[in-house]
Amino acid sequence: MADTSNLPTDNSVKNFTSESLANFTVMDSTECVTSSFDVTIERLDRILFTVTVVLIMFSMGCVTEVSKLWENIRRPWWLFINVVGQFFIMPLVGAVFIVTLNLPPMYAVGTIVIASCPGGPYANNFSYLTLSDVSLSISLTACSSVLVIGGLPLMLALYSHTFVDDGGVVPVSYDVLCVASVKIIVPAVSGVLIRWKLPRLASVIEKSASIVPFGLLTWIIQKCFFTREIFTSPWQVYAIAAVFPIIAVFVGFTLSSLFCVESEKRRTVAIETGCQNVGLASAVITVSDVESAHEYQLLAVPLLYGVFLFSYAILIIPTYRLIQMRQDKSCEKDDIEKFFDDSNENIRSDSDNSKYGSVEKMLRGPVKMTMLPREPRQPESR
At 294 the pLDDT is: 73
pLDDT digits 0-9 by tens, 332-357: 666 566 655 655 565 555 555 554 44
**Domains in the chain, please, with CATH?**
34-333 (1.20.1530.20)
- Beta partners for 119? 276
Rounded to whole angstroms, the Cα distance separating 244 from 182 reads 27
At 26 the pLDDT is: 45
Residues of the chain with pLDDT under 70: 1-35, 37-38, 163-172, 210, 260-261, 288-293, 331-382
Q: Which of 229, 55, 77, 64 is nearest to 137 (CA)?
A: 64
Tell me how far CA of residue 294 lies from CA of 231, 303, 381, in angstroms: 14, 15, 124
First-last CA distance in the chain:
174
Q: What is the pTM of this model?
A: 0.72
Within its chain, how far is the Cα of 371 from the centroid?
79
At 27 the pLDDT is: 45
At 47 the pLDDT is: 81
